[in-house]
Amino acid sequence: MPAELTIRIVPTLREVDPSAWDACANANLIRHINGLNGESDSVCEVADSSSQSTPPPSAEAGDPMRPIDSKLQQEPFNPFLTHAFLSSLEESGSATPRTGWSGAHILVENAAGRLLACAPAWLKSHSQGEYVFDHGWADAYERAGGAYYPKLQVAVPFTPVTGRRLLLADDAGAAETAALLQGLRAVVRKTGASSIHITFPTRPEWEALGTAGLLQRTGQQFHFFNRGYGTFDDFLADLASRKRKAIRKERATALAPGIEIEWVTGSDLKEAHWDAFFAFYMDTGSRKWGRPYLTRAFFSLLGERLADRVLLVMAKRGGKYIGGALNLIGDHALYGRNWGAIEEHPCLHFEACYYQAIDFAISKGLKRVEAGAQGEHKLARGYRPVPTYSAHEFANASLARAVSDYLERERRHVAATIEAYEDYAPFRRS
């Protein structure tokens, strides 16, 4: 690693120039990360300023049931990695030390102070809002007398979306990547954290992190893939007749009570939309998991900073908004994030979150829809199983061995589950 590189650890993104962060977060080059296992702790100063998704089948692929390539494709623009999105989580009070997210962002700079690489990282005092579950590991370690928290989480808070986690400028490479990992390990040593957890990285990062000695974990989500469809009916034509009829029936049922759907994005987004959506979010979120993570201020900041990358799917009945789904727009993908409603109507959730997302993606030529974590019910609605990834490192060798054994079995189970799900996909067989 070049001696002129310096690692800094900062507690908030307010200390990072937005354009410098974004030059790493959404750099133009697609890179397969190498050199993670070539670090040396002696050549890089550490300072503390506070002291792809799976590529879709192509339109020419022929059989919609063919296996999906599991190597994740780099998204040219991933809105969740932007300084605007991450800083909005911090500034709104959604991801702060008070809520158990203490910033420990890793910056790698050259001798001139230019940012060459960075990683969004938080010291966590709990395991909420991550969507890669390690509560069992924490409980076992605590019962054995260890302290699992704090732990170091490299992630986008409250966001189960795959994207790069080791962010590099266009002219950075293996040395800067190794420096990021060195910085993460330095935070663990300094704070006494139990572990490093890098959640929802791309497949190339995950493979390289495994080479560097981190434990590898897989998970599974459901994504819709646009095979060059011109309309929603073109998508339905790819389905088996029974599934096609079922979806048409669900869509008709959802709108039967006189419900209308609106797409709201860009300059059309107003505070009134956010007021309505926040009411939906709080009502549904409080009933589902007790305490929603995002504050009202976050949505205003999101609309102010990333309006052109936001899509609200709003359901209206009798001139009043009654439900809605929040999506973010990448260059290749539409990402479904949050849903809520203040009235219960059959199939409205499916319509607003899944079918409207497919319709929007087709209309804009997007390659896929990522509809969030879990949900076997998505399979019957045209979404297909894909793997997700995470990487983990533990300071305690005994805990590391136990988790390693568990993950080996879990990876086999996840692979078998994805294969089994494909047998139940609703598409016509060639």
Span 227-366: which CATH code? Answer: 3.40.630.30
Does position 43 have pLDDT exceeding 80, yes or no? no
Within this chain, domains 6-221+386-422 and 227-366 share the same CATH topology: yes
CB distance 105 to 10 below 8 Å: yes
**The residue to which tokens 């977060």 are assigned:** 25
Secondary element (H or E) of residue 246: helix 241-255
Q: Which of 29-43, 192-206, 278-292 has the highest mean pLDDT?
A: 192-206
pLDDT of 119 reads: 98
Secondary element (H or E) of residue 421: helix 397-422
Q: Where are the alpha helices (DSSP H) in 290-380?
A: 296-306, 348-350, 356-364
Structure token pair of residue 147 = 């302290």
Query: Sorting pLDDT into bands at 50, 70 and 90, what band is 289?
Result: low
| CA–CA separation, 333 and 225 (whole Å) | 9
Q: What is the DSSP letter of 277?
A: H
- For 6-221+386-422, which CATH class? alpha beta
pLDDT of 364 reads: 97
pLDDT of 430 reads: 66
- In 11-75, beta strands by DSSP E: 45-48
Coil/strand/helix, residue 395: coil
pLDDT of 144 reads: 95
CB distance 165 to 119 below 8 Å: yes
| CA–CA separation, 236 and 242 (whole Å) | 11
- In 56-202, beta strands by DSSP E: 101-103, 105-109, 115-119, 121-124, 151-154, 167-168, 195-199
| CA–CA separation, 61 and 417 (whole Å) | 24
Structural domain spans, the chain: 6-221+386-422, 227-366
User: What strands, in cross-sheet order, belong to the sheet with 6-10?
Assistant: 45-48, 6-10, 105-109, 115-119, 167-168
Mean pLDDT on 29-34: 37
| CA–CA separation, 279 and 322 (whole Å) | 9
Amino acid, single-letter form, for residue 8: R
Mean pLDDT on 110-137: 97
Tell how strand 320-329 and strand 333-341 pair up.
antiparallel
Does position 246 have pLDDT exceeding 90, yes or no? yes
Read off the pLDDT of residues 292-332 as tens digits, 9 standing for 90 and up: 899 999 999 999 999 999 999 999 999 999 999 999 999 99
- pTM recorded for the entire structure: 0.90
- In 357-398, beta strands by DSSP E: 368-373, 384-394
Structure token pair of residue 204 = 């190339």
Specify which residues 305 forms β-bridges with: none
Q: Tell me the torsion sign for CA atoms 164, 204, 64, 376.
A: negative
In a 10 Å sphere around its CB, with 0-12 CB exposed, 13-18 middle and 19+ buried, how is residue 411 labelled? middle
Query: Sorting pLDDT into bands at 50, 70 and 90, what band is 160?
Result: very high
CB distance 303 to 84 below 8 Å: no
Secondary element (H or E) of residue 182: helix 174-191
183/35: higher pLDDT: 183
Mean pLDDT of the chain: 89
Full DSSP string of 4-19: T-EEEEES-GGGS-HH
Read off the pLDDT of residues 396-413 as tens digits, 9 standing for 90 and up: 999 999 999 999 999 999
CB distance 23 to 109 below 8 Å: no
Query: Sorting pLDDT into bands at 50, 70 and 90, what band is 291?
Result: confident
Backbone region of residue 347 per phi and psi (left: phi > 0; alpha: psi in -120 to 50; beta: other values): left
Read off the pLDDT of residues 45-98 as tens digits, 9 standing for 90 and up: 555 444 333 333 333 334 544 444 433 345 789 999 999 999 999 999 999 999
pLDDT of 225 reads: 97
| CA–CA separation, 411 and 415 (whole Å) | 6
Within 8 A by CB and 6+ apart from 362, the residues are 226, 229, 230, 231, 232, 234, 235
Q: How far is CA 366 from CA 203, 229, 333, in A?
A: 21, 10, 5
